Each structure stands twice: as structure tokens, then as C-alpha cells.
């Protein structure tokens, strides 16, 4: 019998998963898998709860919630050098990594993947000693995930992110930044930058069509300074994936990236608050094993 630890966020995605917890446990038990559920009420709980893995070996760790829950769970495994596969049950308002990897939300399908045991080693990003799975960012949109009201997220879901993003446009300001990517230097006043391991951020699809999570590269999307009117147009084009038609939008790939600014600018890692600039970012190839559908 395979054994799994399950970290679940009871409020993620309007709290739907907690009402289906028994259904998931039954689906796993039907496949001869034992699940030990651990409820987390804050991100500070995650390392405390997962520390049980040091005295009780398991076949895998499962995380049910949004990108924040996945981020905290993966960071514990990576920081503690615990080499067990991570299983993702995408039950948050936004599940960008799961969407990019085409992971199912249906509980029976999730149970089938975990029980089968197939997993793949994926790249992760590291910034100033912290790991991220999907994206590191700063500038316009980077604070949207923190400022969206929880009730609004529960009611409107992904639409809440879109509405908040458009609300931020009239207040945007450019940031003087210097980005050094594998030796190439880009220095300008910028509206935002995204350093992506995957290609979906904030539920916006096709932000980096070439992105892969196993290519040893990170994808950098930069929006250079532009007028308010132009920025509104770029925001709309993000929804359709046509943003690269704008000359103000630039895309590069790199393994090592340094981002600097003369201003005190905070960052965002997978929807969680990250360190202030400067950011020393690098890709760590094939660092995290993730349960996936077999090729």
C-alpha cells in the first residue's frame, strides 16, 4: 500500500475541496493508497505539518489548493532536500502551474495519477535563496493576487483577477530597471517584468508560448514604458495572447537573470510576497518531481 501526506487549504477555491475530502480519500483507498490529511490554516503551518515526513517516510506529498499552497509545499520539500514526488490537486481560484501542465481537477483522475506513480522531474526557479515554481514578477499586476478581496475571489473566481488587473492600469507607473539575462543587458523604465518557468500567470494564457518546465531556461516577458492608452491595449491583448504584437513587449529566454533598480521594489513569487530588488534569479534544472499523466 502506498502512503501519501496531503496538505489541503480549507478556504482555497471557495472551500470546495474540504467538502470533498472524504470522496478523495475513498478514491485513493480504492486504489490501495493511504492518505493522511493535514489541514493548513496559514502558510506558516505548512512546514510544521510537513515536518512529520522526517520521521515517517511516505511515497509522495499531495497539495490541494491554489498556487500559494503548492508554492509553500514545494518550497519545504526543496529547502529540506526531501526527494519525494509532489502531487497537485488544483482547487484554488487560480492554478496556473496545474493549467500549464494540463493536470486534472477531477478527484478520481487525480487519484489515478497518484496511484499510478508516474512523475517527471521539472525545473524550478531560485531567487535570492527562495524557490518558485511558476513565476517571479514585479510591477503592474504583481500585487493583484494579494489585493483581490477573498469574498470577490470566491464569488467571481478568475474574473476577479482580470477586474483587479484592469483597475490597476490607471495607477501604473514605470520603474527604472536593469535586467541582465545570460550577459545581455536591458536597461529602461519598465511597467512590469515576468520571469516564468511555465507560460501561464494570473490565469492569463499564452504569456510565453515557448515556455517549458524542463528546458533549463526561464522565460522573461518585459513590458517597456508606454502610454496609459497603450497599456490598456496591452492588457486586453494579454487575454488573447497577442501581446507580442506590441513593440513595447519583449520576450527573452535565459538561465541566469539579475534584476536591479534604484527604487525599493517588492516582488511576487507564485502569488506570494517575495524579496525586494535586486533579484538574483537562476533556473535549477530537473529539481522537483511532480506526478503527471504518463506520456
DSSP letters, 90-144, are E-SS--HHHHHTT----HHHHHHHHHH--EEEEEEEEETTEEESSEEEEETTTTH
The pLDDT, as a whole number, for residue 140 is 57
Give me the catalytic one of 168, 250, 260, 272.
272
pTM attached to this predicted model? 0.85
Distances (CA, A) of 120 to 102, 191, 230, 261, 280: 13, 35, 41, 36, 26
Mean pLDDT of 235-254: 83
Task: Confirm if 271 and 70 have CB atoms less than 8 A apart.
Answer: no
Crossing angle for the helix pair 107-116 and 21-29, nearest 10 degrees? 40
Q: Which range among 114-128, 170-184, 187-201 has the greatest average pLDDT?
A: 114-128
Q: Active site includes 32?
A: no
Burial label, 45 (beta-carbon count in 10 A; 0-12, 13-18, 19+)? middle
Q: Which residue has the cell 488544483?
A: 90
Nearest of 102, 97, 112, 86 to residue 24 by alpha carbon: 112
Task: Please tell me the distance from the alpha carbon of residue 273 to that of residue 266, in angstroms, as a whole number.
Answer: 8
Nearest of 120, 130, 102 to residue 195 by alpha carbon: 130
pLDDT interval class at 175 (50, 70, 90):
confident
Name 137's bridge partners.
194, 268
- Is the pLDDT assigned to residue 170 strictly greater than 70? no
Task: Please tell me the distance from the alpha carbon of residue 95 to that of residue 33, in angstroms, as a whole number.
Answer: 25
Amino acid at each position: 500500500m502506498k502512503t501519501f501526506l496531503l496538505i489541503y487549504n480549507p478556504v482555497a477555491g471557495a472551500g470546495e475541496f474540504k467538502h470533498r475530502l472524504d470522496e478523495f480519500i475513498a478514491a485513493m483507498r480504492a486504489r490501495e493508497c493511504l492518505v493522511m490529511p493535514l489541514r493548513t490554516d496559514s502558510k506558516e503551518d505548512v512546514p510544521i505539518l510537513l515536518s512529520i515526513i522526517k520521521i515517517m517516510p511516505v511515497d509522495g506529498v499531495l497539495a490541494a489548493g491554489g498556487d500559494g499552497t503548492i508554492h509553500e509545499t514545494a518550497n519545504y520539500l526543496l529547502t529540506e532536500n526531501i526527494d519525494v514526488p509532489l502531487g497537485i490537486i488544483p482547487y484554488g481560484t487560480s492554478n496556473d502551474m496545474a493549467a500549464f501542465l494540463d493536470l486534472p481537477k477531477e478527484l478520481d483522475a487525480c487519484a489515478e495519477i497518484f496511484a499510478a506513480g508516474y512523475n517527471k522531474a521539472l525545473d524550478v526557479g531560485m531567487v535570492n535563496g527562495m524557490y518558485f515554481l511558476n513565476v517571479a514578477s514585479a510591477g503592474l499586476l504583481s500585487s493583484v493576487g494579494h489585493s483581490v478581496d477573498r469574498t470577490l475571489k470566491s464569488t467571481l473566481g478568475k474574473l476577479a483577477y482580470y477586474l483587479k488587473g484592469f483597475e490597476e492600469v490607471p495607477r501604473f507607473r514605470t520603474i527604472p530597471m536593469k535586467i541582465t539575462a545570460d550577459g545581455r543587458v536591458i536597461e529602461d523604465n519598465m511597467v512590469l517584468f515576468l520571469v516564468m518557468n511555465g507560460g501561464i500567470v494570473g490565469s492569463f494564457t499564452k504569456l510565453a508560448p515557448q515556455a517549458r518546465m524542463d528546458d533549463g531556461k526561464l522565460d522573461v516577458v518585459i513590458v517597456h514604458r508606454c502610454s496609459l492608452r497603450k497599456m490598456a491595449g496591452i492588457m486586453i491583448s494579454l487575454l488573447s495572447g497577442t501581446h507580442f504584437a506590441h513593440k513595447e513587449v519583449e520576450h527573452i529566454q535565459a538561465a541566469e537573470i539579475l534584476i536591479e533598480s534604484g527604487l525599493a521594489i517588492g516582488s511576487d513569487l507564485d502569488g506570494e510576497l517575495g524579496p525586494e530588488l535586486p533579484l538574483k534569479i537562476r533556473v535549477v534544472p530537473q529539481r522537483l518531481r511532480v506526478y503527471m499523466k504518463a506520456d
